[in-house]
Every structure is written in structure tokens, then in C-alpha cells.
Chain A
Amino acid sequence: MWLWFHKLSSPPYAYRVATLLRPWFFWVAMALMLFAAYGGLVLAPPDYQQKDAFRIIYVHAPAAIMSLQVYVVMAISAAIGIIWRIKLAHAVAAACAPVGAAFTVVALATGSIYGKPMWGTWWEWDPRITSELIQLFLYLGYMALRASFDDTQRADRASAILAIVGVVNVPIVKYSVVWWNSLHQAPTISKLGKPAIALSMAWPLYTMLLGFMLYFAAVLCDRVRSEILRRERNAAWLLETVKTS
């Protein structure tokens, strides 16, 4: 296992693995997302309170969960990069940010559209919504900070610190609905053992989340490859790689 990790941390090997895995991640993700959308929009019964509007949850909640999960992946990669000085880990962290930002935008936008018919407002300075907005600013700040350095190594280190410090916002977003009085509803699916949602409504949600995860993995493969190429200056394998791909 450790040996495999060690092997994976070598850029040429990681580049090959990413190339190989990408189509699998992508097409399985597509199939899962279509299947989940069908389940959520057609098969699931209307909610007894929210009627058909609750169907928004099938894109809103998985996107919001991803906005936090991607950040955790990014912060862990950045920490590994700083502690063990693995360049590939920094490349992974850098590759995470734009995808995480995209999921955060989706979570905020769909949440806003969801809020209009349910709460009667597009926007409220509510703990959950405000902390999720900060999440978006963390991603954007991370990307802006990276872009402000010409030297990749310095960009790696400075942005890694921001990524690691910023991880405090993840539990704040997650527990905001529990800690403070929030307009936002309390968690429905993460209550282990006793979910507050019927199976016919729940499975498309989990399927969509899995689809989003694999989609993220697929885009990450492309972005990590791109980062590896950008960092690799004079390696001999670069010659072989760009010839064939």
C-alpha cells in the first residue's frame, strides 16, 4: 500500500494513472447522474410539505456536500505537500480549487432559487448561507493567491497555508444549522442509523452524490495532468508524453 502511494507520488506514474482512469470516472459519473435525475424528477413521490419543489434537493444538497468535501481533499493534499514536500500533492490541491468553486456556486445558486418559493426570499444573511458564501471566497482567495506568484514553489507553500487554515470553515458550514437558529432546514440524510427521509426519496440523492464525486475525480484527472505538465520542465518523459497524447 505504502509502496503504491510512493509510486503514485511520482509525476509520470500519476500522469499515466490519471489518463487511464479519467474516462471511467467520467462515463460512470454521467450514467449515475442521469439515473439519479430520473429517480429524483420522475420516480420519487412529491414531498408532503414542499410538494414538487423538494426535487431541487437532488442537485442542491450533493453540490453543497461536494463544496465541503472537495475543500477537505484540497486541504489534506496541501498539508501533505507541506509536510512531506511532495510536489504532486500541491498539484492535486491546486487542481481541486476550480472544481470546488464550481460546486460552491451551484450550491449557492440552487439554494437561492430553492429559497424563493420555500422561504419567500432569494437571499438571507443566514448562518448556513453566509458560511457557504465564505466557502466560495476561500476557493476564490486560494486561486487568486496562487495566481499572484510567478514562482510555483512559493505559490504552493503560501496557498497551502491558506487552504489548511481555511478548513475551519468546513465544520462551521456543516454545523451552522445545528449551532445557530437558521432558516435552513436541519440535516436530513446525514443522521446515521435513523434517516429522516424515505428510501424512494433518498436513493437518488446518494446516487447523485456518488455521480458528483466521480465527476469531480474525472475533472481532477484532467487538471492534475495539466498541473504536472506545467511543473515538469525538462524531464525526458515529457518528450514521450506529449508525442503520444
Chain B
Amino acid sequence: MSLREFIAMGTYGPYIWACYGVTIAMLIFSAWSGRRSLREQIGAARRRVEMQKEERT
């Protein structure tokens, strides 16, 4: 099987690659947004800790 045949997938290439593209995009987005939310919360928690320290001194 040549690369061209593989990409063409009979006549269904565009449909198949669109589906895999959508899936990969969503997987990347979902993982990224989970990480981002964690980073945000770590930042917010750091600020809270800092503020408490300042209040005590």
C-alpha cells in the first residue's frame, strides 16, 4: 500500500481524517484545559498563602 493510497482511504479519506483530526484536537484541548485550571489554582493558592503570611507579620 502506498502512502497516497493510505491517505485516500478508498474515497473516504476526507471523512476519516476529519474524524481523527476532531478527536485529536479535542484530546489536546481537554488535557490542556485541565492543566491550565491546575496551574491557575496553584497560583491562586500561592497568593492566598502569601497574603496569610503578610497578615501575620
Contact = CB atoms under 8 A, between A and B. Distances in A.
Interface in B1-16: 6, 9-10, 12, 15-16
B48 A233 contact: yes
Interface size, A (range): 35 or more
13 contacts: A52-B12, A53-B16, A99-B34, A102-B27, A102-B29, A103-B26, A106-B26, A110-B23, A117-B15, A219-B34, A225-B41, A229-B38, A242-B42
A223 B12 contact: no
Contact of A113 (B18, B31, B35): B18
Interface string A199-239: 00000000000000001001100110111011011100011
Given A106-B26, A239-B49, 7 more contacts: A98-B33, A99-B30, A99-B34, A106-B23, A114-B19, A226-B38, A229-B41
Contacts of A232: 45
Interface residues of B, number: 30
A101 to B, nearest CB: 9
B44 A238 contact: no
A103 B22 CA distance: 11
B34 A222 contact: yes
Given A59-B19, A106-B22, A226 B34 contact: yes
B45 A241 contact: yes
A74 to B, nearest CB: 15
A13 B24 CA distance: 32
A110 B12 contact: no
Given A106-B22, A215-B31, A113 B15 contact: yes
A53 B20 contact: no
A105 B34 contact: no
Nearest to A42: B6
B13 to A, nearest CB: 8
Given A56-B15, A98-B30, A223-B37, A238 B45 contact: yes
Contacts of A218: 31
Given A113-B15, A222-B38, A245-B42, A37 B20 contact: yes
B30 A114 contact: no
B19 A60 contact: yes
Contacts of B44: 229-230
